[in-house]
Structure 1
Amino acid sequence: MASREQFSSKTGFIMAAAGSAIGLGNIWGFPTQTASNGGAAFVLVYFVMAFCLAYPALMAELIIGRHACANAVTALQLISNGPRTRALGTGVGLYGVVVASLILSFYAIVAGWMLAFFLDPIAKLLGQAEISQWLTDSSLSRNLTAMIAFMALTVWIISQGITNGIEKWSTRLMPVLLALLVLLIIYVLRQPEAQEGLKVYLLPDFDRIDPSLILNALGQAFFSLSLGVGTMLIYGSYLSRESNLPRLGVMVTVVDSGIAFIAGLLIVPAMYVAQAYGAVIFNEDGSLVAGPQLIFQVLPTLFHSMEGVIGLLVALAFFLLMSIASVTSSISMLEVPVALTTEKYGISRPKATILIGIVIAAISTLILLNFDQLFDAVVTLTTVYSQPLLGALLCIFVGWIWHRDNLLEEIKKGDPNVESTLFWKIWPFYVRFVCPVLILATFVQSLMG
């Protein structure tokens, strides 16, 4: 374990962890979920879920990972206290790897769309009308090509390792992402029609809060923070012993939730601006025209309404933003099965990354060939159900299986005075009782309709 790579700095970890969290789950998923689930009411519940349930679960993953310095399966086996809990840890770890791989399989499809729409303005500026048409048509050939290109980029970054791959590209891409996001928000909010979208986004209708909304908010919080599948556990395993885990966990949660909220300031008002230019946002019954294609139905209408080259440049900036967000998240998801393969089976990182990338691309191809039957089903299975359940199980491992003294000793390595802090007075009880009960109660209530 001595030669195992680590993040070279606290900033590198925060950028990588925030990059994992700040992906399509925030910039695409969160605003779409918000518009589909009562606007500001969903935003309010999401923030409650993020800090009351997702943050404690995030801390559980970071602490387990830093203690074990290993992949999810080995880490859970290490903190187990007997044959039965060891078997449970093996099952939870392996299921987390499967869920991470399934998330990446549908994620690569959507990211491929972003990549295609990023290249579209370039094709138009170069006068390549046929290429532009192909890039924006939802054809099987376009979808397969874009998905494979995106997976190849993800595989290349992960094959470079932690400091030269994940950390290097996260610290480069995240500032660009934030700058693009702010510039686009300034532009969209200057449009008169954006005010209606702001009202929907910022003024909550509390009558919209119901069990379905709460479950969706919980799933979104876990998805956007990359929880339950071992991503943050793996990132925690690359932290130094001197890292102050509670402080780092707060910083990641605040950055992630903040970017999700800021992304909503762009997407939700943009929907109403695009509606003024003829885009169909709502069905006849008043419900949102939801689904993964919503962003591609709404925003191109907005971009086309702009004069000349300006619309192409704004479209280029927006889909560059989305493509960067896609990459910073996909590399963290691919790292989960790669870490397991390299550590358990001794396969070199480049070889393991390529092999796993091919397998996930094959699953993505299967989803594309049966899109109507599989896409929404895989999204729901992984993000709405599996991630919260896995998060609850990780909380159970920390709260019930791992000895409290050993847990405290691990946290004290980066914060010697943690025992006297408010965090230690609340978190152990919270992660032991409150988190598992609330997560599972919400899950059971959703199953009962």
Structure 2
Amino acid sequence: MNTQTSNNHQAPRGDHPERFSSVGFIVAAIGSSVGLGNMWKFPYITGEYGGGAFFLLFIVSLILIGLPILLAEMTIGRGGRGDSATAMFNLTGSKYWRLFGLMSVLCAFVIMSYYTVVAGWTLHYTVESFAGVLFRGGDDFRGKFETFAGSYWPVLWQVVVMAGCAWIIAKGVSGGIERFNKILMPGFLLILLLLMVRSLTLPGAGEGVQFFLWPDFGKLSAESVLVALGHAFFSLSLGMGCMLTYGSYVSRKQSLGVATVAVGIGDLLYAFIAGLVIFPTVFSYGLEPGEGVGLAFMALPAAFAQMPFGSLFGGLFFLLLAIAAVTSAVSIIEVPVAYAMNNWKWSRKKAAYVLSAVCLLFGIPAALSVGGVFGGFQPGGKTLFDWYDFTAAYVLMPLGGLVVSLFTGYAWKRAKEEAGLSGFWNGVWMFLMKLVSPILIVLVFLYSVGII
């Protein structure tokens, strides 16, 4: 790398022509972070890896790895005024950092291709729950899910999700992304609180609350630590360029430190309330908290089926999942869209619709691999859906986060100036970026690929 170029290259200093309002940015960033990671994945890994003790580990992981990388991504985005590849080039003039940044763009594309599959499942279950169809014909909810996943319905719902995201992105930053999040996120919070109240008033709910909030450190293992670190990364949408791209639309008057804390608190708050929705329900109806990925789609419907007004509460729960999925999906597809606009000079509408269509075509095989026509095709013992997930979430995301950490800590000399932190907090942030975060990210990566 040409270090002379890296040190002397000047970043663009003006505001991006497309821009969030201060409140709109924080709402959109929280909407990005509060996805299926909090509402679907967090409860089942908490149940599997230690309950309350794991929740504490998750909080520590947010502080040590999540918030510092989040601030770094937003700082790079605002300083470089572009997607991850463009911003890193703008800040250093180095084609090598452009290539490293391109990894996040690729990661976002891959994630979007299978994330919309799960988002489609949530829409299907929302409709089925409100209509009461989900709770008819017996209580074999595992069989019902497998029948649905093995059909062509997931593709149709995937098309609906992708089309909706493309339409929102095509409307622009303030008129599309910001307005969409400002409408949906308050509704999301209202539904979440309603479900929390209902869950906490169920018979036996106290046992679930105790499991979630009372730490038993004897349940923890070295694996629990690595999973908590990885989830802190995943829950904030880090390593895939989302927060970096959103950061490019932030005014220079916005305090990035305040925004980072606000997004972190929002992410943690939603995870906390999600736990108070899931675990009291699980224990009240005798379900297994470590059920795994099937907790939302196979186990919880059994609880809603026994609950008074179960169709209503089940529908609200899956609507909650759907909102969480779509607000995150919008931020994910914006990453390759921004890249196409910056590097190929495409219009926003062209980039939104063309890339969404290509992403859909790439994702259809994943949708059909979960028991569908491609279900029997399992190279290396994994379905296509699993391979997409493994490649993006366990390889590209950690590597993308490592690139952000090293870029901020070592390559970009004006990072501290752009972040706008005080002297003490700048020192803490740089220590984390240069030493702590890279080591933890490497450990998470080595665990994810099965080396440790």
TM-score by length of 2: 0.87
Q: Is the 8 A contact 2:108 2:240 kept in 1?
A: yes
- State the alpha-carbon separation in 2 of the partners of residues 214 and 93 from structure 1: 28
The verdict on how the C-alpha distance between 1:193 and 1:386 changes in structure 2, with shifts beyond 3 A counting, is farther
Q: CA deviation at 1:139?
A: 3.6
Matches within 5 A, 1:13-412: 13-80=25-92, 86-124=94-132, 137-275=148-286, 281=288, 288-291=290-293, 293-307=294-308, 310-371=309-370, 373-403=383-413, 406-412=414-420
- State the alpha-carbon separation in 2 of the partners of residues 39 and 384 from structure 1: 23
Q: CA deviation at 1:236?
A: 0.6
- State the alpha-carbon separation in 2 of the partners of residues 438 and 316 from structure 1: 39
Decide which moves more: 296-305 or 244-253. 296-305
- State the alpha-carbon separation in 2 of the partners of residues 346 and 331 from structure 1: 21
Q: Deviations over 1:361-410 (max 9, x none)?
A: 1222111233351223332332234322211211100110011xx22332
Q: Is the 8 A contact 2:226 2:443 kept in 1?
A: no
Q: CA deviation at 1:442?
A: 4.1
Runs of 5+ unmatched residues, structure 1: 283-287, 413-417
2:58 aligned counterpart, secondary structure: helix
2:264 aligned counterpart, secondary structure: helix
> What code does the residue aligned with 1:98 have?
L
> What code does the residue aligned with 1:397 have?
F
- Aligned counterpart, 1:5: 18
Q: Is the 8 A contact 2:52 2:216 kept in 1?
A: yes
Q: CA deviation at 1:229?
A: 1.1
- State the alpha-carbon separation in 2 of the partners of residues 339 and 154 from structure 1: 14
Q: CA deviation at 1:271?
A: 1.9
Q: Is the 8 A contact 1:392 1:440 kept in 2?
A: yes
Q: Deviations over 1:106-157 (max 9, x none)?
A: 21111101101111134349x999xxx8998334221111111111111111
- Aligned counterpart, 1:415: none
Decide which moves more: 167-176 or 197-206. 197-206
> What code does the residue aligned with 2:354 have?
L
> What code does the residue aligned with 2:344 have?
Y
TM-score by length of 1: 0.88
Q: CA deviation at 1:52?
A: 0.9
Q: Is the 8 A contact 1:395 1:435 kept in 2?
A: yes
- State the alpha-carbon separation in 1 of the partners of residues 267 and 29 from structure 2: 9
Calculate percent identity across the aligned residue pairs: 36
Pairs aligned (count) = 422
Q: Is the 8 A contact 2:91 2:412 kept in 1?
A: yes
The verdict on how the C-alpha distance between 1:167 and 1:136 changes in structure 2, with shifts beyond 3 A counting, is farther
- State the alpha-carbon separation in 2 of the partners of residues 247 and 400 from structure 1: 24
Q: CA deviation at 1:2?
A: 6.3
Q: CA deviation at 1:210?
A: 2.5
Q: Is the 8 A contact 1:274 1:299 kept in 2?
A: no
Q: CA deviation at 1:160?
A: 0.6
Q: CA deviation at 1:3?
A: 6.4
**Which residue of 433, 437, 440 maps to 2:439?**
437
